Structure 1
Amino acid sequence: MGPEQLVFVWLMLSSLGLFGVIFGWRYMRNRENMAMIEKGIDPNIKPERPRPAPFRNLKWGLLLVGAGVGLFFAYLLDNTLLYNIGHNFDKFENEHYVNGGNVSIYFALIAIGGGLGLIASYRIEKKELLDKQQDK
């Protein structure tokens, strides 16, 4: 199978997939509306928006801050302590290039930082919940 044929197959599959997603979305929406009509609910009335969740923003904020701190820490490690592992310098051509030896530390420290942010969010939420229960 040549590249032209693979492009044609990919185009056909992606078109069919897009059609299937749109058809499935409309079909499920119609079924939902029919179920609402059967229960006597007007499907044109939009339901009330849920109450704001105050800790959702805290959780996302701490997750992103933790990932950012992890990324910054990985950059510092890559360019200081682990510089000789991931960077090469060609003495004859006076060229500096990165060989990709420290790529995994970036992903690892982003995950660690994000996880620490989520743990911090959990502890803050738990402390707030316990304080509310003690006030009652």
Structure 2
Amino acid sequence: MGELVAITLFLGAFTMVFGIRYLSNKEKMAMIERGINPGVGRSAPKPYLSLKFGLLLVGLGIGLLVALASVRNMFGSDMTHAETSQAVAVYFGCLGIFGGLGLIVSFLIEKKAIEKDKF
């Protein structure tokens, strides 16, 4: 049964990659037929992308540290199975909250920089 799952996953992944490449090629050929340059409009530079990912990772790191401190203070070192599942919820909650806060801070910094450049 395990072999069947592995084969199915491999074939599904191969089919997906092949389909994406095939449709991308078909789209480019249609653009060439219409006289449109297929390279235009692709991959516009995103100047604040590294800031966004950096602050997201900082937020996730802070979230992990806060979750670790919270779990250690709430449950101590010896945890039962029920407490372990609650600790997992604390970890995911802190990751979501602090990762989101990192993205909000990134947005505010980008907004301030864009407004500064406008005037």
Q: What is the TM-score with the length of structure 2 in the denominator?
A: 0.75
Return closer, same or farther for 1:28/1:104 CA change in 2, 3 Å cut-off.
same
- Unaligned stretches of 5+ residues in structure 2: none
More helix by share: 2
Whole-angstrom CA distance in 2 between matches of 1:78 and 1:119 = 26
Could you list the structure 1 runs, at least 4 aligned residues long, displaced by more than 4 angstroms after superposition: 46-51
Residue in 1 that maps onto 2:71? 78
Residue in 2 that maps onto 1:3? none
Residue in 2 that maps onto 1:91? none
Deviation string, structure 1 residues 89-112 (Cα, Å, up to 9, x no partner): xxxxxxxx6631422111101111
Alignment length (residue pairs)? 116
RMSD of Structure 2 on Structure 1 (CA): 2.8
Deviation at 1:119, TM superposition (A): 0.9
Return the match for 1:122 from 93, 107, 113: 107
Seq. identity, %: 41
Whole-angstrom CA distance in 2 between matches of 1:67 and 1:82 = 21
Q: What is the TM-score with the length of structure 1 in the denominator?
A: 0.67
Return closer, same or farther for 1:11/1:115 CA change in 2, 3 Å cut-off.
closer
Query: Which protein is bigger by CA-based radius of gyration?
Result: 1
Q: Report if the CA contact (8 A) 1:69-1:113 is conserved.
A: yes
Q: How does 1:1-136 map to 2 (within 5 A)?
A: 6-7=1-2, 9-11=4-6, 13-40=8-35, 50=43, 52-79=45-72, 81-84=73-76, 87-88=77-78, 99=81, 100=84, 101-133=86-118, 135=119
Deviation at 1:72, TM superposition (A): 0.5
More strand by share: 1
- Unaligned stretches of 5+ residues in structure 1: 1-5, 89-96
Q: Report if the CA contact (8 A) 1:82-1:102 is conserved.
A: no
